[in-house]
A and B are shown apart, each in its own frame.
Chain A
Amino acid sequence: MSNIRTNRLLDSMFKYVGIACTLLAIGVLAIFLGDILIQGIRRIDWSFLTSLPSRRAERAGILPAWTGTAWILGLTAIIAIPLGISAGSYLQEYGTKNRLAYIIELNIANLAGVPSIIYGLLGLQVFVRLFAFGGSLLAGAFTLSLLILPVIIVATREALKAVPNSLREASYGMGATKWQTTWLQVLPAASGGILTGIILALSRAIGETAPLIVIGALAYVPFVADSPMDEFTVLPIQIFNWVSRPQAAFLVNAAAAIIILLGITFVMNGIAIYLRNRWQKKISW
């Protein structure tokens, strides 16, 4: 038989334990970020942003890395966005009960749980070797596109689901075809939610390291890529490369590069969350 006083004690204790754990998780994040800021902020200057890497830490910069990240972001967006929105539209507007849709959904559910490095192995055999793209930006972009495709598809579906059916009815009632209704009414109405999902997916893509290493993105790239067939590096790989060096000065470089990477990531996530809030208010009609 439990004692009322013990129960009350446990209850109020747990309240503090709960807050403590929550604050612990956040506190650890704060320590991470604080530490990285302290280590790296002073290293960031114009020459850091515009120099090539070098064997001398003070001269090394992230120019190829951030331009590589920009390239990968752009190419992945071009490939994954149309594919993802199309597939999501198909599943939600066209194929809700047929077998093909079921198979696609099953695949998406499974793919979500596949570690990103396995996508790297896939990309290595298919894009790098079979399609002969080599260890290029194109191979990297295709690999990352496959990785984030399920995320965009699910986001598209959720956004489409939230569009009230009365909109579709109004459009069909006027004699619009399914595609006209989807393209002219439903997708525009869902665009806020879709955009949020896309930005979150791309933000994840630029943080990916392992799959790009596997497909052959180089760790030491003393040039700036200027075509999709070029070899490349990206910020996370540059960071990894510097972290693996013994000299302390390279760790400072790594911290500085991390600040840049986190800056981009947080800005993208922030925009996505802002858009999500705005869109959710809008669709309550």
Chain B
Amino acid sequence: MKRTGEIIIEKILALCGLVTVLTTAGIIWVLFSESWGFFKIVPLRDFLFDTEWTPLFSEKRYGILPLLAGTFLTTAIAVITAVPLGITIAVYLSEYANRGFRNRIKPVLELLAAVPTVVYGFFALTVVTPFLQSIIPGVGSFNALSAGLVMGVMIIPVISSLSEDALTAVPKSLREASYGMGATRFQTAFKVVVPAAASGIMVSVILGLARAVGETMVVAIAAGQQPNLTFDPRQGVETITAYIVQVSLGDVPHQSLEYKTIFAAGITLFFFTFLLNNVSFWLKKKYQERYE
């Protein structure tokens, strides 16, 4: 009977969808179970508060702070670079530019987003670092600034494209009301449209931030592989992600504590990006309610 055929097909299709649920479950299981093994040996207090991370050295310390500092420093630089540029571009494209210009620029910005991150890393190491070294004293051959700047350029499309969507979603009537009162485009843009699109723009910033936090290759190549608790961008630092790569490249036996450190690092990373993403969902929901 064809009826059963239809039901079987529906179940198969549903199962394919379930793969995503299994993926999430898998990620959570993997991170938690291996970290559990790690935290049975390393006390949580040491992990959170120790200022040195040397699991691969003879004197082993397991404080996550240096890696957190590395992630934080590079991410901060990236966000400081990308947010003003990204939002300016978004405002320009949505409020000023004509359709022809917009249609030609948007594919190029998409291209920026399509470049593999390892290529950005190459550029950071071979062009940006020497350039910085020539204009700023004390910049190391691995440094957070170079990686941060390049990551910033990399996430501009995230911020500009989502912000632009948020800006164009603001109803035309608001702009017309403002222009009708004699306001300039600049005033309308920044006093009316941007505030109206504020939560959408914030979502774009948070997502850009999350992207930078999770980025691996740019920092692995240009920021360095030495954990370093510092806020000086001229120094080399190691991020959580770069550490995981470092261990994976080496020969670390599977049952060892060193191996489990990548999961402890991973779960920390997951925690932050999960938080950021859910804040952005919550914001998006609030923002949608406004227009309905």
Contact = CB atoms under 8 A, between A and B. Distances in A.
Check A-B contact in the complex, CB < 8 A. yes
A118 B266 contact: yes
A255 B120 CA distance: 11
B216 to A, nearest CB: 4
A128 to B, nearest CB: 10
B60 to A, nearest CB: 21
Contact of A209 (B17, B216, B263, B281): B216
B19 A258 contact: no
Interface string A240-281: 100110000001001100100110011001000100000000
Contact of B127 (A35, A236, A240): A35
A118 B270 contact: yes
Contact of A103 (B12, B21, B119): B21
A251 B119 contact: no
Given A104-B20, A203-B114, A209-B117, A25 B245 contact: no
B254 interface: yes
Chain A binding surface, main DSSP class: helix
A255 B119 CA distance: 9
Contacts, number: 260
A94 B119 CA distance: 41
Given A7-B187, A177-B6, A110 B24 contact: yes
Given A115-B214, A129-B254, 4 more contacts: A116-B216, A117-B244, A121-B262, A122-B27
A11 B182 CA distance: 13
B229 interface: no
A265 B221 contact: no
Given A7-B184, A22-B93, A25-B153, A87 B16 contact: yes
A146 B241 CA distance: 19
A72 interface: no
A249 to B, nearest CB: 13
Given A121-B31, A125-B30, A25 B109 contact: yes
Interface stretch (A46-54, A56-64, A190-198, A210-218): A210-218
Contacts of A111: 20, 23-24
Q: Max chain B CB contacts within 10 Å: which of A7, A22, A266? A: A22
Contact of B122 (A8, A95, A258, A266): A258
A177 B89 CA distance: 49
Contacts of A114: 27, 214, 270, 273-274
Q: Chain B interface mostly helix, strand, loop or mixed? A: helix
A243 B123 CA distance: 10
Interface residues of B, number: 85
Interface string A120-132: 1110111001000
Contact of B112 (A25, A118, A150): A25
A24 interface: yes
B106 to A, nearest CB: 10
A70 B160 CA distance: 33
- Please name the 8 residue pairs, one residue from A and one from B, whose CB atoms are nearest each other, closest first: A115-B214, A18-B92, A207-B116, A113-B277, A90-B13, A86-B16, A210-B216, A87-B17
Nearest to B5: A179
B53 to A, nearest CB: 17
A70 B5 CA distance: 37
B217 A209 contact: yes
7 contacts: A7-B184, A95-B14, A120-B248, A179-B5, A243-B125, A262-B119, A269-B111
Contacts of B97: 18
Contacts of B10: 90, 94, 178-179
